[in-house]
Structure 1
């Protein structure tokens, strides 16, 4: 039995016990939503407040090594798995993901953020700030997707 990308991300969020998971239906075409979500270097810094830059090497490979740069210049290497409707980014301390599937006339979109070591979960809970921060990420993706031609 095969599950779609959003269901897979939801299951991953449950397994990671993350506090930062949200999904919702967007009244935007899948192609526009995924064009924004998959543009990691160009768009991700607009969605993640603690990210100044996300450097991803060019090319069509679905597995890449990326570099996250924080606002004060801190750096963290990420393994990235990027495929249509699916993005998983993992560093030593953080797991992030996005998923999208066509749903009716729009798109079901989901986002996940989790601390990898269990010891960091209290920090994760403090940073997540509940539903507001989770939904803000999705609203930003939707807003930028709506601007796409």
Structure 2
């Protein structure tokens, strides 16, 4: 396995977590435009995740930091964020989210994952994955492309 390929790393992580949401697509957009959207978590994540009102990312270390997600309902969750070119991994005590991108002929290969952390939530994750995971993953990818076109 080529560990320098972020999309491949995310695919392996999704398999290991039995992710309820995983999507991977070729976007006919330059990598820089796609990754500019993905890396701007504070401004863009609320546009990409329908139930998220805001995602607060403090200034500081660009590679590893704590962030606070605020849902539309007002619930909050603290996340550890690892962000580097082509790779974004966000983990809370309950949720793992990730995005990855690599340049690919004529555009960008982009992937997104969403999974639960506690094993006790696996049955709910399995049901979500079967009912909505693929559709939500495609919708997320489509929103990333739409936001990248606007930049």
Name the TM-score, length of structure 2 as normaliser: 0.93
Secondary structure of the residue aligned to 1:114 is strand
Write out aligned runs for 1:48-87 (5 A).
48-87=49-88
Q: Which runs of 4+ in 1 moved over 3 A?
A: 125-128
Q: Which moved more, 1:68-77 or 1:118-127?
A: 118-127
Give the equivalent residue in structure 2 for 1:100: 101
Q: CA deviation at 1:70?
A: 0.9
Secondary structure of the residue aligned to 1:24 is strand
Aligned equivalents of 1:74, 1:67: Cα separation in 2? 10
Give the equivalent residue in structure 1 for 2:2: 2
* 1:61-94, Cα deviation, whole Å (9 max, x unpaired): 3000000001121111000000000000000000
Aligned equivalents of 1:88, 1:130: Cα separation in 2? 18
Give the equivalent residue in structure 1 for 2:89: 88
CA RMSD of aligned residues (A): 1.3
1:20 and 2:21 correspond: yes
Secondary structure of the residue aligned to 1:52 is strand
Aligned equivalents of 2:143, 2:56: Cα separation in 1? 20
Secondary structure of the residue aligned to 2:2 is coil
Q: CA deviation at 1:60?
A: 4.7
Gaps of 5+ in 2: none
Aligned equivalents of 2:105, 2:41: Cα separation in 1? 26
Aligned equivalents of 1:79, 1:130: Cα separation in 2? 23
Q: CA deviation at 1:109?
A: 0.2
Aligned equivalents of 1:8, 1:136: Cα separation in 2? 22
1:132 and 2:131 correspond: no
1:141 and 2:144 correspond: yes
Are the aligned partners of 2:42 and 2:56 in contact in 1 as well (CA < 8 Å)? yes
Gaps of 5+ in 1: none
Q: CA deviation at 1:48?
A: 1.1
Secondary structure of the residue aligned to 2:58 is coil
Give the equivalent residue in structure 2 for 1:32: 33
Alignment length (residue pairs): 148
